[in-house]
């Protein structure tokens, strides 16, 4: 297992409680949920290469849609600003 770097994270009680519920729903520890969310956000932002072609910890979940996935968010700049 890869070495982990410990650090302190301060959260307000409401945020922690919401995170704790979400972690329980996903059958993760709060720490595991924080790591999962951070890795997913980093991968989606292109700041972390996903492992094995998928974001770590998704366990077959449907990928989160990125830019251009919905009708209100065209995929290319040309689609966003069509020329008449």
What's the pLDDT tens digit per position in 24-42?
999 999 999 999 999 999 9
> Within a 13 Å sphere around the CA of 54, how many CA atoms are in the beta-carbon half?
8
Per-residue pLDDT, averaged over 29-57, amounts to 83
Average pLDDT value over all residues in the chain: 76
Question: What is the mean pLDDT of the segment spanning 41-61?
Answer: 69
Q: Examine the pLDDT at 52 and tell me if it is beyond 90.
A: no
Query: Are 84 and 72 contacting, i.e. CB atoms less than 8 angstroms apart?
Result: no
End-to-end CA distance of the chain: 56
């Amino acid at each position: 297992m890869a070495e982990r770097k410990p650090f302190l994270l301060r959260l307000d009680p409401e945020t922690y409680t919401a995170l704790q519920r979400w972690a329980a729903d996903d059958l993760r520890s709060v720490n595991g949920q924080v790591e999962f969310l951070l890795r997913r956000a980093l991968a989606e932002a292109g700041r972390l290469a996903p492992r094995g072609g998928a974001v770590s910890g998704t366990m077959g979940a449907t990928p989160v849609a990125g830019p251009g996935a919905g009708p209100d968010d065209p995929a290319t700049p040309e689609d966003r600003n069509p020329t008449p």
